Each structure stands twice: as structure tokens, then as C-alpha cells.
A and B are shown apart, each in its own frame.
Chain A
Amino acid sequence: GQNIDQPTEMTATEGAIVQINCTYQTSGFNGLFWYQQHAGEAPTFLSYNVLDGLEEKGRFSSFLSRSKGYSYLLLKELQMKDSASYLCAVFGGYSTLTFGKGTMLLVSP
């Protein structure tokens, strides 16, 4: 079976740093994706981790520990436009993604 857990909501202040956690238990694992989704819009790709460790890309970083079934997305220097839902997705067998329910991040001034 597939089980992916993320916090439902988080709040943070503009300019701050926030970490969004994702834990997973899946029957197959070939990597983990993070997507950003603004309300009513399509998800957009943020990061893909297949090996353990930290991947940094500008203000966003993503970490993976395969032995712990754990990932996090780190957002630095938060901006108002970062208010969105952040989706964790496990890439399993047959080229399919299994998504968590998403974490709604609200950035306040």
C-alpha cells in the first residue's frame, strides 16, 4: 500500500524560513517529488530527490532520507507569493506518482 503524510496547514511570516515535512510508506520507491500548487491552478515542479541528501535550488531546498522514509522541503526568505499548497509525491513503479494531500502554506506580512 501507499501512505504519504504531510501537515495539513502551516503559517509563516514573510522573510522567514519554513520546513514542510513529508513521511512515506510505499511499496515501491524510485524518487520523491515536490510540487507547488496555487489555488485553482496546475501543480508546478519544484524538486526531485532520488538519492539521500540535500538538493538546493535557489530559495528552495529538498532533503531525502530513504532509510527513514522522510523528506522535507525548505523554503527560505519567504515571500507572499509562496502562499500555496505544497505537494509531496512518491515516484513508485510503472512511472506513476502517488501524492500526499498537500500542505497549505500561508505567508503573512
Chain B
Amino acid sequence: DGGITQSPKYLFRKEGQNVTLSCEQNLNHDAMYWYRQDPGQGLRLIYYSQIVNDFQKGDIAEGYSVSREKKESFPLTVTSAQKNPTAFYLCASSGTATYEQYFGPGTRLTVT
């Protein structure tokens, strides 16, 4: 089955620690995206990558970092510089034939 996986579903960290969220896809999509969703809010774009070894900042990139060393993988690191890291994080990917973005199940990060 093709799809996007994110792990873990729930993640807890202490303030001041960096944490990396994984995102893997086997859809052979070139583009991948990271979004953040807060209660009652829409999705806000953190970073995106349209090709391996290249990525661009989205609207709220401060305090986050990414890498794109493989087509299938686009991990997101939430650094200690991110002031309000507690949120629901969604990864997505899209191909070139259609612009539809497919979403992973999300990771709910809680930082205390």
C-alpha cells in the first residue's frame, strides 16, 4: 500500500530539548511539506521541498529545521528556539501529475 507514514503519533518532550519528527512516503512524490495545526486554526506551512537536497521556508519556519537527503524522507526538527512547539504536525507529499497533497496521520507533540 502506498502512503505517508509519520511516527510517533504522540510525542512528549521537555522544554529546551530538540525533537525530530519523521515523515516517510512511498508514493514516489517529488514534493513534500510540513504543516503545523493549532486548535481552531488552519494548517500553516513550515517548510517544503520540491526535490531532493533542496527545501524552502514556509510561513512559520523560525525554530524549525529540515533535511531532504532522500526522496522518500523529509524529517522535521523542532528546536529549542521554537517558542510554542506544542501542536499537531502534519506531513504531506504531492506528485507532478496532480497538485493534490496527500497527508500523513500526523504527530501530536507536547512540550512541557
Contacts and interface: CB of A to CB of B under 8 A. Distances in A.
Interface of A: 4, 8, 30-31, 33, 40-45, 48, 87, 89, 91, 94-102
Interface of chain B, main secondary structure:
strand
Nearest to A6: B42
B33 A42 contact: no
Interface of B: 31, 33, 35, 40-45, 48, 50, 56, 58, 88, 90, 94, 98-106, 108
A42 B100 contact: no
B42 A42 contact: no
B56 A42 contact: no
Contacts of B103: 42-44
13 contacts: A4-B42, A30-B99, A41-B106, A42-B106, A43-B43, A48-B98, A95-B31, A95-B48, A95-B99, A96-B58, A97-B33, A97-B45, A102-B42
Contacts of A87: 42-43
Contacts of B94: 95
A100 B103 CA distance: 17
B39 to A, nearest CB: 10
Contact of A91 (B50, B88, B99, B106): B99
A18 B41 CA distance: 22
Contacts of B48: 94-96
A98 B33 CA distance: 12
